[in-house]
A and B are shown apart, each in its own frame.
Chain A
Amino acid sequence: KAGVTQTPRYLIKTRGQQVTLSCSPISGHRSVSWYQQTPGQGLQFLFEYFSETQRNKGNFPGRFSGRQFSNSRSEMNVSTLELGDSALYLCASSLLGGAPTDTQYFGPGTRLTVL
């Protein structure tokens, strides 16, 4: 079974631009979560989507948004990029996301650099 895939793997943008990152979950998985990973803050939860609905949201400004499509693929968007948005953005998928033992499988991440 193919793992979680994320595209692109690397991205360089300038301040003020916007960016869209894509995540394809493992086949059959319906829950997709997004995380931001930085050396200073570690892994921080952005949001979770299940059946095209946002189920949980972390403490990030409204510039960060996401959506999920009917095939469970997900995108996240960051508008008006700031230098502090430079990070590794990780996507994780799980079967349903609602059971404690429902393992989250992570993709390799998209490395975003904002200049």
Chain B
Amino acid sequence: QKEVEQDPGPLSVPEGAIVSLNCTYSNSAFQYFMWYRQYSRKGPELLMYTYSSGNKEDGRFTAQVDKSSKYISLFIRDSQPSDSATYLCAMRWSGNTPLVFGKGTRLSVIA
């Protein structure tokens, strides 16, 4: 079993839909959780960062962490065609430990 599991999709939604992206993990030592967005032919860029359990909101994006279930989510409200990309979850044990990534979910938002 991989440390971080993420459904690869592809996920296709109409413009304006609410998108839910999820990851599960096996190592309870993970404390820091991130979501990256990767456009085609580009490197990943950090979207959201959360520490421990709870919610964090930034514009149309909300990140949720449930450490008891070892489950993290990213919600995108009012999705736009420009949100079409691969979304990668990532996590780490502490500040100077490597990031462990999920395989990414490919999202297409259809106008």
Contact = CB atoms under 8 A, between A and B. Distances in A.
Contact of A100 (B41, B95, B102): B95
A108 B51 CA distance: 27
A100 B94 contact: yes
Nearest to B97: A56
Contacts of A109: 43
Contact of A108 (B41, B102, B104): B41
B99 A45 contact: yes
A42 B101 contact: yes
B88 interface: yes
A101 interface: yes
B96 interface: yes
Contact of B103 (A4, A42, A90, A107): A42
Interface stretch (A11-19, A62-70, A91-99): A91-99
B103 to A, nearest CB: 4
Contact of A99 (B42, B95, B101): B95
B103 A56 contact: no
A105 B45 CA distance: 7
A107 B41 CA distance: 10
A64 B92 CA distance: 23
Contacts of A56: 96-98
B105 to A, nearest CB: 11
Nearest to B100: A45
Interface of A: 4, 33, 35, 41-45, 48, 55-56, 58, 90, 92, 97-109
Across the A-B interface, give the 3 residue pairs with the lowest CB-CB distance, nearest first: A106-B43, A42-B103, A43-B101
Interface of B: 6, 31-32, 36, 41-46, 49, 51, 88, 90, 92, 94-104
15 contacts: A4-B43, A35-B101, A43-B90, A43-B101, A45-B99, A45-B100, A56-B97, A56-B98, A58-B98, A97-B96, A100-B94, A105-B46, A106-B36, A107-B43, A108-B43
